[in-house]
Chains A and B, each alone.
Chain A
Amino acid sequence: MNDQSMPFFASGVDPGPSFVELLRRVAPHDLPGGTGAAGAGGSDPALFPPLTHATTVVAIRFADGVVMAGDRRATSGMAIASRRIEKVFRADDHSGVAFAGVAGTGSEMVKLFQTQLEHYEKIEGETLSFEGKANQLAQLVRGNLPAAMQGLVAVPLFAGYDDRRGRGRVFSYDVTGGRYEETDFQTNGSGGVHAKNWIKASWREGMTIDDTVDLALRALFAAADEDAATGGPDLVRRIFPTVAVIDASGYRMLADDDIERRANAQLGGREEGAGL
């Protein structure tokens, strides 16, 4: 983009409040997959060098909002690519987005989604409805489908506080851009099924923030117990999952030492003697 020229459009081709459409008009190479990267080296995923994958994330509704959490491991094939990756992000003041799958694709999708929400808000002078945000994300996932068919799969979770309805909401997606509203909780990623079982066994209506954060951590530890690609609490390096709480007062990440304290309190809990 030329720094000195401003983007103006004739009325028929004006991108409106959509940042994705704007990119498509003026900088298509900046769109995810815009350079045709997925197809460039042939379409057989087996020919790729091992891709970096991010894994397990959870979103759980509680009495006043939602809790989102993710472990910190990324893998490349059998190797650990990162011990400190973050998979849970602020989408805007009242929502968060997390992803599992190919880390490059997922983080690009998140960045575009964040920009899209902020862009809409500034152009239109008001925020999108919660459903509108969920649909925008579905379009980004759908846009990634050709790349996903060639192995670059990343699928998000979207959750937050719907201030027009006064409650927490959780949306999950599939690789085609299918968008599904969950009633209470959802997980994603290779350890997701283990985390989900744990949540399912303990979740109840009207939980407090404290209990929900602990449940999210517990579910991630259970996933790490069973799934090699999910990282457990790293006591040596003091690395713990990232946890975000979203309620009427907005989006906030819990402080590291708070999570460490909670994680330590869970050690020696039900894993001991349970044959795990």
Chain B
Amino acid sequence: MTMPFYVSPEQVMKDRADYARKGIARGRSLVALESAAGIVIVAENPSRTLFKISEIYDRIAFAGVGKYNEFEMLKIAGVRHADLKGYSYSREDVNARGLANAYAQTLGQVFTHEMKPYEVEILVAQVGATAAADELFHILYDGTVMDEERFTVLGGQADTIAQALESRYQDALSIGDAVKLGASVLGDTDQPLSPEQLEVGVLQRDAAGRAFRRIKGDELAQFLSS
């Protein structure tokens, strides 16, 4: 009879984290920026149909990087969570913090108990009445939640992109400028990505009901060329 090798918990967690990080690093990054008119989310995504950015609820959006099928599943769970809560309580009772906690719990659970961790990083963004009231929750593959201010970057090249944003981000950007800044920091050698390579979503601050909308086609091209 063979004895199973002893592997220390530290080693197990480290291996899983490495595995998840490697998976995430293979994918492309995305940025979310608070702006005067709302929260702008810009992702490098050549697909027109497989979205990284989605609407969750009236003032809440979701974005994911890493393995598509995994963050898509998380998105659907988020929509279900939010719609159930809004249906049984009230639309105002659905908030990003509750959703971020639920995601953190799910990801943490999978990270410690399952063989394979999720290879994703996700963002839960909620637009407020003012930029100061905006919320950006950046959640890692192991359930770590970070409550970010001004902007956040998800994905393999996050550190480099965040550095670039640190020096170029300004408060109260217009939506167009935020889109342009996002596209430029996501591209290499400061060549902004073209509209075909981008997926852009915005949570519009002044919207009365559902605040999420996609910026695409001519509108996107116009923002990038102005």
Contact = CB atoms under 8 A, between A and B. Distances in A.
B83 interface: yes
B217 to A, nearest CB: 16
Contacts of A30: 87-88
Contacts of B98: 3
Given A6-B77, A8-B77, A26 B84 contact: yes
B55 interface: yes
Nearest to A1: B84
State which size class the interface on A falls in.
Answer: 20 to 34
Interface of A is mostly: helix
A118 interface: yes
Contacts of A8: 73, 77, 106
A4 interface: yes
B102 A6 contact: yes
Interface string B72-108: 0100111111011111100000000010011101100
Nearest to B103: A6
A23 B79 contact: no
B84 A4 contact: no
Given A4-B105, A6-B103, A19 B51 contact: no
A184 B171 CA distance: 53
Contact of A122 (B79, B84, B87, B103): B79
B85 A22 contact: no
A179 interface: no
A118 B83 contact: yes
Contact of A5 (B73, B87, B102): B102
Nearest to B58: A118
A267 interface: no
A149 interface: no
Contact of B102 (A3, A19, A22, A123): A3
Contact of B88 (A1, A4, A5, A119): A1
Nearest 10 CB-CB pairings of A with B: A6-B77, A7-B80, A122-B79, A6-B102, A119-B83, A6-B106, A115-B87, A6-B81, A30-B88, A4-B105
Interface of A: 1, 3-8, 19, 22-23, 26-27, 30, 111-112, 115, 118-119, 122-123, 125
